[in-house]
Amino acid sequence: MNMKKILALFLFFSVFLPTPSHAQCRGQLCQNLQNILYAAVTDFRGYRENIFVSPDVSIVGARIPCRTTAWANNVTMYMCYAEVPASPAEDWYINVLASARALQPAWQFKINSAISDHFVDAGPAGCAVPATEGPYIGLCPLHFQITKQNDGMAKVYLWMSSLSSPYLENAPPAPPSSHNPPSISASCDDLCRGLKKAFEARLSDFAEINAAGTHGGGASGVTLKLAGAGDCRIDAASKPHSTQAGTQYACYWPESSYSSADEQFRDLVSRVQVLVPSQWASRPEDRFDELTGAKITEWCAFAPGGKQQVCVDILAASVGLHITSWN
């Protein structure tokens, strides 16, 4: 690469680089956040190839590990998540916000605080808050949030999207507006219509699709079975280490191979992303099955306040959809 190209790339990415002065970066959390912001410029290659140690974003009283992963469109991201006591979670949020503002004084910070929960999207001036797709060029790359639970704990998230991923591209053009939009049947197949109906049913705890134990028209007392699913059901839901309960609508797609399951997983995620409201937070996550220890890849979206959520997961050659409404 010649010097002109190197200079051009440096000038392009310089708007994303944190201010290098260590005088304004106090504490390990700030230094680790600075490290993450720098790594985003090189697509987190140093972390992915184990050239550098991947930093966490922990503070005293709250251990918050991080790892590299990818969005549904293959853009690399650096994801940090933990469930910690609410008090240190609040301290963590205040520290991250102060550190990010010190490191990126020219960035805009869009803050949405609903009672005890906090959601922040940050990036260069004029960046847009990500909705349910992407990330794309022009969207704010940094997001962090805390959502407090009824058991005194809080879920803490921080993610930074790559600034140089080869998959990073402009958002597709918005569809032309029309006073007479086409009917859903003209642009939506059976699975699309079923997903839409199931997602809307969360508002009534799935009453309109719950057959109350009868066998009319569905599996396991459900009057709505999604196209291609092997089984759909409505069950009670509970959170680990919590007394909070709820109701979930779940469907499962058994596939013949992992590659087929991965294709089904990505298709479901892309369909659900269109349905969830723009103010919902979303994240991918890898976890392990409590009984077998097998790896589960999951994509979830959460309503502000955490009262509703939708998750798509893949375990071996099986794909699951879970739409949950918490009490």
Between CA 34 and CA 40 the distance in angstroms is: 10
pLDDT of residue 176: 54
Q: Is 152 left (phi over 0), alpha (psi -120 to 50) or beta?
A: left
pLDDT of residue 322: 93
pTM comes to 0.54
DSSP 35-100: HHHHHHHTTTHHHHTTSSPPP---BTTB---EEEEE-TT--EEEEEEEEEEHHHHHHHHHHHHHHH
Q: Which of the four pLDDT bands, split at 50, 70 and 90, describes residue 215? A: very low
pLDDT of residue 6: 36
Between CA 63 and CA 124 the distance in angstroms is: 29
Residue with tokens 């642009």: 187
> Which alpha helices (DSSP H) does 153-203 contain, by range?
184-187, 190-200
Listed residue (313, 200, 197) closest to 265, CA to CA = 313
Whether residue 160 is predicted with pLDDT greater than 90 in this model: the reply is yes
Across residues 244-262, what is the average pLDDT?
A: 88
Whether residue 222 is predicted with pLDDT greater than 70 in this model: the reply is yes
Between the CA of residue 43 and those of 17, 75, 127, 257, 297, what are the distances in Å? 13, 9, 19, 31, 21
pLDDT of residue 242: 66
Across residues 43-63, what is the average pLDDT?
A: 92
Residue 161: what residue type?
Answer: S
Q: Specify the 3-state DSSP secondary structure of 6.
A: helix
Q: Where are the beta strands (DSSP E) in the chain?
A: 66-70, 76-85, 108-114, 117-123, 142-148, 153-161, 231-238, 245-254, 281-288, 295-302, 308-315, 318-326
Between CA 163 and CA 137 the distance in angstroms is: 8
Across residues 39-60, what is the average pLDDT?
A: 93
pLDDT of residue 251: 94
**Contact in structure between 97 and 20 (CB atoms under 8 Å):** no
